[in-house]
Structures are given as C-alpha cells and as structure tokens.
Amino acid sequence: MKNVLFVCNQNQNRSKTAEIIFKNKFNTKSAGLYNTNPVTAKQISWGDVILVMEEEQRSELAKRFPKQYIQKRILSLDIPDVYKFNDQKLIKSLQYKIKKYSHLF
C-alpha cells in the first residue's frame, strides 16, 4: 500500500479531509505549510506520493525541501481553499481527482 501525504496551507480542511477519506485505500498522512506545526522533511521522505491542493504549494515544497523534492512524485490536485472540513463538494472533488491520478500510483 502506498504512503500518500496530502498537503495544503493549514491542514484543517482539504488535506485533513483527504487523509481521512482515503485512509482505507492508502497509508495516509496530512500536513500544512503555514500552520504552527508545518510539514517536515521526514514527512516528505515518508510519502511515496505527495499530493498538494494547489500548484503554489508544490513550489513552496521545492523551496523548503529541495533534496526530497527532486526524489518525489508531487502532484497538484488543483483544489482551491474554499471548502470546510469534510464538505461533501470537497469530498466529491477529491475522489474525482484521485481517480484521475490513480494510474500514477
């Protein structure tokens, strides 16, 4: 089973929801970039696949973790920060995007 790390800005809504809804399909963790406990190099190293919610987050990971960044598959799901935790529209969007990318992992 693949280790999948979901990353968003605060790890309160998008990545936290993704971590929960895909926990039976992958080994999942989630993290934020701009919260009090931001994503670490260890978390990046743990992930077989890192899924960010927006393209800017991928760029930020490249800046913060250049060594890990070049070794990892990091995909942007292109999901804007307009959802609350466990929002049904967010869940549908996440499921659709994961299905679209499933051939990559």
pLDDT of 33-52, one tens digit each? Answer: 999 999 999 999 999 999 99
pLDDT of 60-105, one tens digit each? Answer: 999 999 999 999 989 999 999 999 999 999 999 999 999 988 877 7
Output the pLDDT for position 104.
73
Please name which of 19, 25, 21 lies closest in space to residue 43, comparing C-alpha atoms.
Answer: 19
Output the pLDDT for position 55.
97
Q: What is the largest CA-CA distance in the chain?
A: 36
Positions of E strands within the chain: 3-8, 27-32, 49-52, 73-76
Output the pLDDT for position 82.
97
Output the pLDDT for position 57.
97
Output the pLDDT for position 101.
83
Alpha helices in 47-87 (DSSP H): 55-64, 66-69
What predicted TM-score, i.e. pTM, was given to this entire model? 0.95
Report all structural domains of the chain as residue ranges with CATH numbers, in order of start.
3-104 (3.40.50.2300)
